[in-house]
Every structure is written in C-alpha cells, then in structure tokens.
Amino acid sequence: MITEFIQYIEVERRYSSLTIKKYRRDVEFFAIHLNTTTTFDPTLVDSDDIKGWIMAQRAANLSPTSINSRLCSLRSYYKWLHRGGHITNDPTTNIKQLKTEKKLPSFITESQMHKLLNDLQVLLNGAPSEKRYDIFRDIVLILFIYTTGLRRAEVSNVKINDFEEEFTKLRVLGKGDKIRIIPILNAMQDNIKRLVRVLYSKNICNSHKNFLFLTQGGEKLSDCDIYTIVHSRLQSVGIQGKSSPHVLRHTFATHMMNGGADMRSIQELLGHSSLQTTQIYTHNSISELKKVYNSAHPRARKLN
C-alpha cells in the first residue's frame, strides 16, 4: 500500500518531487526496521512497533529533528490508511514528537546584504559581454528571493505570465496548491523587466512555458541550479556560514520583522500555514528592540 500512498500525495496532494521522495524513503525505512520490506503489512503495526523504531534511531545517534521528520512522514501514511478505511486505529496517534533544541534561522545582516549586492554589481560592470547574462540573471535571482521570500522550488517555477499589472504583483502557487499574491518592489520590477528584455533580445527564452529564470541555453533553472548559483555567489563575496536560497528567505523575513512588519503579514508573504512557524523570526526583532532600548532609555544609558 506504500505505492498507493505515494500516488495519492503525488496526484491529489501534488507534493513536490523532493517531498514525495522523502515520504517514500521514510516509510520504506520503517518497513526495513520491521524486517518486512517484501511482505510489509501496515495494518499489523501497533504503537509499540513505532516506539521501538524511534528508540532504534536514537540508539543510532540520529538527531531528534531527523527522527521527528521521519515520524511526520509515517503519521501522514497512517492518517491516509485510516481515512481510507484500511485500519481502524491509527498507531501514531499517541506517539509524541521528541523534544528538539530550537535553532534560530541563519540570515544575512542588512550591511552584509548591501555589500553583497554592491560587489555583484561591480562584478557585472567588469564582466565580458559573453558572461554578462549569467551574472545579471544571478543578481536578479538573489534580489528576487531576498525581496519576495519565495521558496527555492517556487522560484524555479515562476513564469513571466505569473506577474500581474505590469509586474507589480506575482501570483505564486505554493505548498498544498495554495495561491498567494506577492507585491513586487518598484526597483525589483525594473530588474525583472530588464531581465525579460534580455531573454527575448538574446533569444534565450525559446520555451513556450516562459519561465523567468533560465540557463544561457534557454532551459529552466532547476532547484539544484538555483542552490548552486546562490551558494557560489554568496560565498564568492565573503558571506560566512550557511549560504543558500533558504538563508535569503530567512533574511527577507528577519529584515521585514526588524522593519516593523506584523507577523500575520510575514506569514502570508512566506506562505506559512501556521503562525507558529513564523514566530521564530521574532528573535531578531527582540535583538533590535534591545539595541533601541539600550541607546534610548535614560536608565540604560546610565548603567552602560
């Protein structure tokens, strides 16, 4: 029944290919643990089997975060079995997630971001003509993620006709087929229009699908391409630590929070289904408030 479940999340839920691969891997891993890969019968599993699986992973020094992620896949599988009438009791119902250490998201400071964009512009100005499309596209790509907060897979699938009202708005199809509208900053509109002109003038956009971010040969940038571009560009200008599209997404949210945006607006822009997911960005807002407090409050100045 694993195959049927995978078909369900692929066809009906329309999960991304990476998510589908992960769910399949996690459920099959559980079957391997039970030594029943060839005759795996999920209807015979009880909560003790799942607890034993969790304990085995802990004994193998797997992190609580990784175990919880696998458990999430298994929960989805058994919920699907229960809804379909294949089982009467869901064995994952009373299984609690392991406690994890809350990690703050990595992000780029505003001064680092300013330097990054300046350095890339200098690189573009000094580049030979045959290299300019790639560098300009990379700059627009980094700016685009930083000013919209889109996920890597969402960026990969952006098409020119997804923009509305002269590139002032973008219609995004996010997780769970949820559509959200992202406003586009004026300066970003100009960059996108310029990129589109380059695509057509150099005959790069030879696909009828009209994806925005393309290779020099006119192929859509894949998730992997986008990661490689962002990682290499950020590393090349001295950004330390994590340097990925997701870091730019975190940077977008953190800078929005520090600039005074309310959490509900950030939740909507990021496409989070739960406000709890968005609350992690309050960490840096509190940090900024402390700076303001220490510089502005008379008592704080005296103590300092």
Residue 276's domain comprises 113-291
Angle (CA) 32 38 41, round 5°: 80
Catalytic residue among 82, 171, 175, 242: 175
Residues 6+ apart with CB under 8 A from 237: 115, 116, 119, 120
Tell me the CATH number at 163. Answer: 1.10.443.10
The CB-based long-range contact list for 59-64 (8 Å cut-off, 24+ gap) reads 63/100, 64/98, 64/99, 64/100
**What DSSP designation does 37 have?**
S
**The predicted structure's pLDDT at residue 207:** 57
Domain count, the chain: 2
Same structural domain, 174 and 63: no
Catalytic residue among 23, 78, 146, 281: 281
Contact (CB, 8 A) for 73 and 80 = no
Contact (CB, 8 A) for 92 and 78 = yes
**Catalytic site includes residue 249:** yes
On whether residue 136 sits in a domain, the answer given is yes
**The predicted structure's pLDDT at residue 124:** 79
* Digit-coded pLDDT (tens) for 195-239: 998 888 877 766 556 899 998 888 889 888 999 999 988 887 777
Per-position pLDDT tens, the chain of length 304: 899 999 998 888 777 777 889 999 999 999 999 875 557 888 899 999 999 999 999 999 999 989 999 999 999 999 999 999 999 999 999 999 898 776 666 888 888 888 888 888 888 788 777 778 888 999 999 999 999 999 999 999 999 999 998 999 999 998 888 899 999 999 899 999 999 988 888 777 665 568 999 988 888 898 889 999 999 888 877 777 788 899 999 999 888 888 888 888 989 999 888 887 777 776 655 555 566 556 665 655 555 4
Same structural domain, 10 and 157: no
**The predicted structure's pLDDT at residue 298:** 62
Contact (CB, 8 A) for 271 and 172 = yes
Same structural domain, 258 and 125: yes
Task: List phi, psi (to 5°) of 277.
Answer: -65, -35
**Catalytic site includes residue 250:** no
**Catalytic site includes residue 293:** no
**Catalytic site includes residue 8:** no
On whether residue 99 sits in a domain, the answer given is no
Same structural domain, 145 and 246: yes
On whether residue 106 sits in a domain, the answer given is no
**Catalytic site includes residue 151:** yes
Same structural domain, 242 and 123: yes
Query: Where among 38, 61, 83 does a domain terminate?
Result: 83
Same structural domain, 19 and 162: no
**Residue that is written with structure tokens 């992190």 in the block:** 63
Paired strand residues for 211: 159
Tell me the CATH number at 44. Answer: 1.10.150
Same structural domain, 66 and 122: no
Catalytic residue among 171, 231, 246, 283: 246
Nearest to 84 by CA among 53, 47, 42: 42
Residues 6+ apart with CB under 8 A from 191: 139, 140, 143, 144
**The predicted structure's pLDDT at residue 130:** 72
On whether residue 141 sits in a domain, the answer given is yes
Same structural domain, 119 and 78: no
Catalytic residue among 137, 151, 152, 233: 151
**Catalytic site includes residue 33:** no
On whether residue 298 sits in a domain, the answer given is no
